């Protein structure tokens, strides 16, 4: 399976998700500012992967802090953390990872600067490995929801590329396939960045899992034809009441699924659940450059000067969600109480 991100010789290496699947290129980050740039420019994307990248970025930043004194070290680390946190607003895994790194540094402050640096590097590597284990646990819980012979619709990319490895939504698919179930996937292309067409289709084909690429507009057609048995998507942030922020277009798919009585599942680690955000309306939605809509790569394919809007995420109200699959188990409605229990 593809390696999304790795720590090597005090550098962070990421596969460049802007270029896939046409080119398999890697971006090497030597400092925390290049990690921030990589997150903003979608070299690395997907909520859990962004979390791991942020942690490794903070570790890179920590290594370059010059002082030997703890107080100024922690002050500079705080600056780095605040900058990192601002890279993208919707995926709560970013803030979760930043807080985890900063809390650890505060707790271990008496160890001295050099030891603190080593602790932060080790923690960021641990977060990568933990994420893969969490996804595998999620897969084991979620695969029971999929029938042998099912065709699953997914939106965006919630696979190995969006995480430390294995994937959330695609992790559930992988776990079902590993358990001997015959599963097919329909992948929405996911305009405008084409995570479905470029990334989901690519990683499933690499794994030999049957995948059919469809345009975003075709999801309703295939549901109407009875060709989709379940929908599984990932999430960027889940509010305490079970409302789900995920890639723009997810809400449309959820509404369609309910109309067609097709179960709509969300697979996400506990780190994606933001108990401090009560409802979906309170989740900040990232607005990305209009050029992602008006251009394909650098080629304009729309009238010059046309006004375009590009919200990167939408919120699916919890009434459309059949279940939320986490590493701790599967939660169904009422989500407010059942997510807490997990
Ligand atoms: O803009 P992106 O590509 O970072 O958006 C990614 C998604 O919306 C994913 O579905 C979500 O982060 C879950 S990834 C396991």
Per-residue model confidence as pLDDT tens digits over 89-131: 999 999 999 999 999 999 999 999 999 999 999 999 999 999 9
Tokens of 26: 């890697």
- DSSP reduced 3-state for 317: coil
If you ran DSSP here, which 8-state letter would residue 295 be given?
E
Q: Using alpha carbons, list the distances in angstroms from residue 297 to 99, 273, 300.
A: 35, 33, 8
Residue 1: predicted pLDDT: 65
Pocket lining for ligand 1, CB < 6 angstroms: 45-48, 91, 156, 158, 162-163, 168, 195, 233-236, 246-247, 312
Distance CA 93, CA 49 (A): 9
Q: Annotated catalytic residue: which of 131, 188, 216, 236?
A: 236
Distance from residue 63's CA to the centre of ligand 1 (Å): 29
- pLDDT tens-digit readout, 118-172: 999 999 999 999 999 999 999 999 999 999 999 999 999 999 999 999 999 999 9
238-266 average pLDDT score: 98
Query: For the chain, where do the domains classified as CATH 3.40.50.10470 start and end?
Result: 138-341
Residue 78: predicted pLDDT: 98
- Report the candidate in 188, 193, 141 with the shortest Cα–Cα distance to residue 168: 141
Tokens of 133: 């284990």
Distance from residue 161's CA to the centre of ligand 1 (Å): 10
If you ran DSSP here, which 8-state letter would residue 289 be given?
P
Residue 297: predicted pLDDT: 82
- pLDDT tens-digit readout, 187-227: 999 999 999 999 999 999 999 999 999 999 999 999 999 99
Mean pLDDT of the chain: 97
Tell whether omega for the bond before 334 is within 30 degrees of 0, i.e. cis. Answer: yes
pTM: 0.97
Q: Which of 157, 248, 270 to mutate to test the pocket of ligand 1 (most atoms within 8 A of CB)?
A: 157
- pLDDT tens-digit readout, 24-78: 999 999 999 999 999 999 999 999 999 999 999 999 999 999 999 999 999 999 9
- Report the candidate in 325, 313, 334 with the shortest Cα–Cα distance to residue 263: 325
Looking at ligand 1, which atom is closest to the CA of residue 312? 1
Residue 211: predicted pLDDT: 98
Strands 273-274 and 329-331: unpaired
First vs last C-alpha separation in the chain: 30
Q: Which of 156, 163, 288, 324 to mutate to test the pocket of ligand 1 (most atoms within 8 A of CB)?
A: 156
Residue 2: predicted pLDDT: 74
Kindly state the helix (H) or strand (E) to which residue 57 belongs, with its residue range.
Answer: helix 47-63
Please tell me the CATH code under which domain 5-136 is placed.
Answer: 1.20.120.420
The residue to which tokens 């990568």 are assigned: 128
Distance from residue 313's CA to the centre of ligand 1 (Å): 9
Q: Is 274 a catalytic residue?
A: no
Q: Whose CA is nearest to atom 6 of ligand 1?
A: 46
If you ran DSSP here, which 8-state letter would residue 23 be given?
-
Q: Rounded to 5 degrees, what angle do the CA atoms 306, 307, 313 make?
A: 130
Alpha helices in 31-112 (DSSP H): 32-40, 47-63, 70-85, 92-107
Please tell me the CATH code under which domain 138-341 is placed.
Answer: 3.40.50.10470
Q: Whose CA is nearest to atom 15 of ligand 1?
A: 158
Helices then strands, counting H and E runs in the chain, come out as: 11, 16
Q: Which of 195, 249, 266 to mutate to test the pocket of ligand 1 (most atoms within 8 A of CB)?
A: 195
Looking at ligand 1, which atom is closest to the CA of residue 159? 15
Q: Rounded to 5 degrees, what angle do the CA atoms 265, 271, 275 make?
A: 85
Distance CA 7, CA 28 (A): 10
Residue 26: predicted pLDDT: 97
């Amino acid at each position: 399976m593809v390696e999304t991100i790795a720590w090597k010789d005090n550098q962070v290496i990421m596969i460049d998700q802007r270029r896939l699947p046409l080119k398999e290129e890697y971006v090497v980050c030597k400092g925390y500012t290049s990690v921030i740039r990589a997150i903003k420019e979608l070299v690395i994307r997907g909520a859990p992967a962004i979390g791991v990248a942020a942690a490794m970025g903070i570790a890179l930043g920590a290594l370059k802090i010059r002082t030997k004194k703890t107080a100024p070290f922690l002050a500079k680390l705080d600056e780095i953390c605040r900058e990192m946190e601002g890279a993208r607003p919707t995926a709560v895994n970013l803030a979760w990872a930043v807080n985890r790194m900063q809390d650890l540094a505060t707790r271990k402050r008496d160890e001295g600067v050099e030891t603190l640096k080593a602790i932060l590097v080790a923690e960021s590597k641990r977060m990568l490995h933990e994420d893969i284990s969490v996804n595998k646990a999620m897969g084991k819980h979620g695969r029971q929801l999929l029938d042998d012979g099912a065709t699953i619709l997914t939106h965006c990319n919630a696979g190995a590329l969006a995480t430390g490895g294995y994937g959330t939504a695609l992790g559930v698919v992988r776990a079902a396939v590993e358990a001997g179930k015959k599963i097919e996937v329909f992948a929405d292309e996911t305009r405008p960045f084409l995570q479905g067409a470029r990334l989901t289709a690519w990683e499933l084909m690499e794994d030999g899992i049957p995948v059919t690429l469809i345009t975003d507009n075709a999801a309703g057609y295939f549901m109407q034809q009875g060709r989709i048995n379940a929908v599984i998507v990932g999430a960027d942030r889940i509010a305490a009441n079970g409302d789900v922020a995920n890639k723009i277009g997810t809400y449309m798919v959820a509404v369609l699924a309910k109309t067609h009585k097709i179960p709509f599942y969300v697979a996400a680690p506990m780190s994606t659940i933001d108990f401090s955000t009560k409802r979906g309306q309170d989740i900040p939605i990232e607005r990305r450059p209009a050029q992602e809509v008006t251009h394909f790569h650098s080629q304009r394919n729309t009238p010059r000067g046309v006004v375009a809007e590009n919200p990167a995420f939408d919120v699916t109200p919890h009434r459309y969600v059949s279940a939320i699959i986490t590493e701790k188990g599967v939660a169904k409605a009422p989500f407010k109480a059942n997510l807490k229990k997990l």
